[in-house]
Amino acid sequence: MFEPLGKAPISRDWFGLDIFESGVRFRRKGARLFLLEEVPSTNDFLLGRGPSALGRLCQWENWGWRAFDLAQLSPMEKLQRGTVVVARHQTAGRGRQGRSWVDCGGLHLSVVIPPHPAARQKGFSVWLGLMVVMALREEFNLDARLKWPNDIRVGERKLGGILLERVGHGECYLVAGMGLNIANKSDDFPSQLRSTATSIFLETGQKHKPGAIAGCIVRRVEDEFDRFAREGWLPWQASLSALDCLLGKQVNILSGGKSYEGRSLGIGPEGALLVENSAGETSHFYAGDVHLLPAGEGGQ
Ligand code: BTN
């Protein structure tokens, strides 16, 4: 066992490689999984930024994942389909809207999504969030819901979030990064997050290895992607309405440097958040930061 100075020993299988059952796209010959001990950000590692990191490269062979020895691995020189990066620790994780994502010991995962017309659709990032929510509900018995555009929530608390980054213009690759709290206990969160964050362990009392959760999420996205590409939003509209934690609520939304208030009418077929103001006018928001207003606030 390799033991860097001042750190806990690196266990060979903190991730749970044997239970990481991705779908076929990540089980093609040549698919690569990077299991890193610590990086500034898994998205950045995929995007070729930042320092090299200690970790294991795993490669899909006909019989399963082959894990190579621990080595110093360099950030990607170019994006390749079928690449997944998971880090045990992140030191400079990035969140949406320029925020940071604090490492509280959860799952930090980034995947490459190759150029595809479906991934360029406006609602793609909302759809990704919905896939995560549905996978967690069905496979881990969690009452997960979606907060537009792609926060994963249980009740009022945040369980995870997704950062989707486009690389280049037009026919471009995407990098989807997800942070998810898995085995965190309350004390693992910094005090300012303790009342707003939750984890799968806190909600269900069960501890899962990151590989089990990552596998079920990646599989879900892969299984449903072709249908999304063929049929668009329609097959998911009912699930989306049932799992949308803002629907019918008073919200405040910051978008394009302005603040708006109104009642959420739900998420439209292109992934826009529909908000009705007190004059009965409806606005469509494609980007922004939304907050629930306390009941009774904001009229209506
Ligand atoms: C958000 O809710 O603001 C999105 C958070 C996304 C965090 C993940 S963790 C893995 C990947 N690497 C990053 O630097 N960010 C994403």
Q: Which residues line ligand 1 (CB under 6 A)?
A: 41-43, 93-96, 99, 101, 108-110, 151, 161-163, 177-179
Residues whose CB is less than 8 angstroms from the CB of residue 69 and which lie 6 or more positions away in sequence, other chains included: 56
pLDDT at 10: 59
pLDDT at 242: 96
Tell whether pTM > 0.85.
Answer: yes
For tokens 């998971």, what's the residue? 86
pLDDT at 300: 31
Q: Is the dihedral of CA 57, 217, 291, 184 positive or negative?
A: negative
pLDDT at 13: 86
Distance of CA 256 to the CA centre of its chain: 23
Residue range 246-292 in CATH 2.30.30.100: yes
* Ligand 1 atom nearest to 162, measured from its CA: 4
The Å distance, Cα 93 to ligand 1 centre, comes to 6
* Candidate of 36, 43, 158, 213 to mutate for ligand 1, largest count of ligand atoms within 8 Å of Cβ: 43
Closest protein CA for atom 10 of ligand 1? 108
Question: Residue 123, SS3?
Answer: coil
* Ligand 1 atom nearest to 178, measured from its CA: 8
Distance of CA 211 to the CA centre of its chain: 14
Q: Is the dihedral of CA 122, 128, 129, 135 positive or negative?
A: positive
The Å distance, Cα 197 to ligand 1 centre, comes to 14
Domain covering 2-242 in this structure, CATH number: 3.30.930.10
Mean pLDDT per 10-residue interval, the chain, length 300 residues: 46 87 79 96 96 96 90 94 94 95 94 90 92 96 96 96 87 93 94 95 96 95 92 90 96 94 92 95 94 64
Q: Which amino acid is at 84?
A: V
pLDDT at 248: 96
* Candidate of 44, 84, 94, 109 to mutate for ligand 1, largest count of ligand atoms within 8 Å of Cβ: 94
Q: Where are the domains of the chain?
A: 2-242, 246-292
The Å distance, Cα 92 to ligand 1 centre, comes to 10
